[in-house]
Amino acid sequence: MKNNKTKILCAFLSLFILTAFSSCGAEIKNFRKLSDGRLWDRSTDTYYTPCSVSLRAYELGDIYAKNETYNYYKVNWELPERFVADEDTVLGGVYRNSEIPEINISNFGAVAAKIYVTGEIRQLVDELLASPDIIGDVSRFTHYEDGTERVNAVVDAMISGEEKPIPVNIDEDRVFEIGLLSADYPGLVYTVIFMLDINGDAYLYDRSDKKCVACPVMIKDYMLGTSSETSEDISK
């Protein structure tokens, strides 16, 4: 009986020690929101600057910090010393370490993309895969197609395409998010909006600089083909 009590006590103490160390490792920082929109981590004198509304976290991790109003999360596949994010995935919600230059579509380094329809829930309907030299062995994919040419076409159009007025009458069933992915920023998504107006003309739109351009024919044809796709289809 004495030995059993000793074992139980040792197990309890071990659990207590593990819990204590775990709690210490998960210490939540206190951020201060400054009047210019930046976040300040006083403990390390680190400043975080809001990224453009076109950037969002691909996936939120654990809570990293908080203030009186918001929780701020780790961005999975990124270091929290570089990026944190709040829960606003509609208007971006990503903050970068102020020593990191501003990220835009020109320097994001897009290599792939995921295509979403939006509503109450963002739904994945298709994807443009990166080239084999980036993703390695492609035999794990049931149907592999290199999406590099289409990704580059989206980026090039937004950088140097013919700028157009934002269309007024949009076909709501033909609005998609093109979520560009980068090897340089693996935890972030850069969103470009695809729109089709009621006349059948297609546009690409970047919310960060409110730039709207004519959509390349290659992208229009591809995007309209996704309208009959579902997230179940691409998993096959």
Mind giving me the DSSP string for 62-86? Answer: EEEEE-SS-EEEEETTS-TTTEEE-
Percentage with pLDDT > 90 across the chain: 76
Digit-coded pLDDT (tens) for 215-236: 999 999 999 986 444 333 333 3
Residue 40 pLDDT > 70, yes or no? yes
**DSSP secondary structure, 124-178, as one string:** EEEEEBPPHHHH---TTSSS--B-HHHHHHHHHHHHHSPB-PPPSSB-GGG-EEE
Rounded to an integer, what distance in angstroms lies between the CA atom of residue 76 and that of residue 80? 9
Residue 88: its pLDDT value, please? 74
Handedness of CA 135, 141, 147, 151 (dihedral sign): negative
Residue 46 pLDDT > 90, yes or no? yes
Residue 26: its pLDDT value, please? 63
Residue with tokens 């096959």: 236
Mean pLDDT over 172-198 rounds to 96
What pTM did the predictor assign? 0.84
- For the chain, the structural domain boundaries read 27-97, 110-234
Digit-coded pLDDT (tens) for 67-82: 988 999 999 999 999 9
Rounded to an integer, what distance in angstroms lies between the CA atom of residue 83 and that of residue 46? 11
How much is the mean pLDDT over the chain?
A: 86
25: nearest Cα among 75, 99, 80: 80
Q: What are phi and psi of 152, to 5 degrees?
A: -60, -35
Residue 90: its pLDDT value, please? 64
Digit-coded pLDDT (tens) for 130-175: 999 999 999 999 999 999 999 999 999 999 998 999 999 999 989 9
